[in-house]
Amino acid sequence: MKAELLVDDRALLGECALWCERSGALYWTDIERSTISQWRQADGQLRRWTLPERVGCFALCESETRLLLGLASGIALFDIEDGALSDIRKVLPEGSAERLNDGRCDRQGRLVFGTFNPKEEAIGHFYRVGPDLAIERLALPRVGVANSIAFSPDGATMYYTDSPSRIIHRVDYRADGTLGEPEPFVRLQPHEGFADGSTVDADGGLWNAQWRGACVVRYDADGRETARIAIGASQVTCPAFGGPDLDRLYVTSARVGLDEAALAKEPAAGGVFAAQPGWRGLPESRFVLAR
């Protein structure tokens, strides 16, 4: 199975693909360019917003025009219609070498995210944002490059990885916010690359984008590979189900770090790809903001 190029975005570091079923639009970020993009399926129109900091992740909100941003240093609310940005609630101290990275909303509407350390040392943490925008640190092992955050359809399992480890973990995730003991779910071999972003389909399969692996791989509840989609870029970053029937898989990619020779071999690097995998996704969980 192979994906086709949808948007020749040439993102330095495309990430955090999210489908909004209400507006029929796909969103993603280019972390290194501090932008969020929106592609509308109805007419192919592309919009882009530039933010004051790099955007490691973001979440859809109940208000269709609002996004909860995971900026490099902290979280903020952003309105795509009037461009209003709230004050940034700091997560990391001033001057920190870390930044916020991958994140997804749990089934209760709370944003869970982790941090990125450019030296890949496991000194960071995973955090959760509640409806009052309070930020709590999760009782999970320290992390260097947080990725693959996703939740099972019933919300009872959380998936995550520290990408340099090449291990995707799963952990019991209770509605009250408490966690079980993490356990290995999938181990990637060196030739397969590194686990990056993930999403879950309606049957509970985990779809993982594999950085330097040029593919997205589906794993069943037992961690067995059941599908593989080839992507025309080696640095694959994040999948998301979308389309009117949630049966299309959209995938972001990156071109950061690729030299001219590498880009000549994969000119679509940094693009957004799409495929019909034969599974359906779930509507993206939205951040629930207290009124």
Residue of 281, 252, 279 lying closest to 268 (CA atoms): 252
pLDDT per residue over 200-249, tens digit each?
999 999 999 999 999 999 999 999 999 999 999 999 999 999 999 999 99
pLDDT of residue 291: 74
Residue of 284, 233, 170 lying closest to 10 (CA atoms): 233
Q: In 93-108, which positions are buried (b, 16+ CB within 10 angstroms) versus exposed (e)?
A: eeeeebbbbbbbbbeb
Query: Percentage of the chain surpassing pLDDT 90?
Result: 97
Give the start-to-end residue ranges of the domains of the chain.
4-275
For 4-275, give the CATH class: mainly beta
Residue of 274, 273, 270 lying closest to 10 (CA atoms): 270
- Determine if the pTM surpasses 0.85: yes
